[in-house]
Amino acid sequence: MFGRFVRWLGHKMAGAAHRIDEKKRDELRSTPFPDAYHPHVSEVAQTAGLTAEQRAKLHGDILIFLHEKQFVGVDLELADRHRVIVAATAAILVLGRHISQFDHVQEIRIY
């Protein structure tokens, strides 16, 4: 009985935190996608041939991923190219889902 209550409470708390994030995510989705990012996104082969709707979702998810995750270069000075390619790859993985699939990821280390 107690275990069920703890799971229920955890679900409610996670839902409340998620709603707070959704407002910021909606703002990011409505932000124009930077022109400088387009060449980097095109380096991810799976982005070729996406519909306009898929590309819009991809761009929004990339901006969210870049905003929410901390990128760390290990023996490497990171450039926007590195960050955008990683974010585009992650966004492709959840193209038919919600970017919240990556809520458990806080840091990306690039070697």
Q: What is the pLDDT of residues 82-100, one digit of tens each?
A: 999 999 999 999 999 999 9
Q: Is this prediction's pTM over 0.85? A: no
Per-residue pLDDT, 21: 76
C-alpha distances in Å from residue 63, one per residue of 4, 17, 24, 39, 98: 36, 19, 11, 15, 14
Q: What is the pLDDT of residues 53-75, one digit of tens each?
A: 999 999 999 999 999 999 999 99
**Is residue 14 scored above 70 in pLDDT?**
no
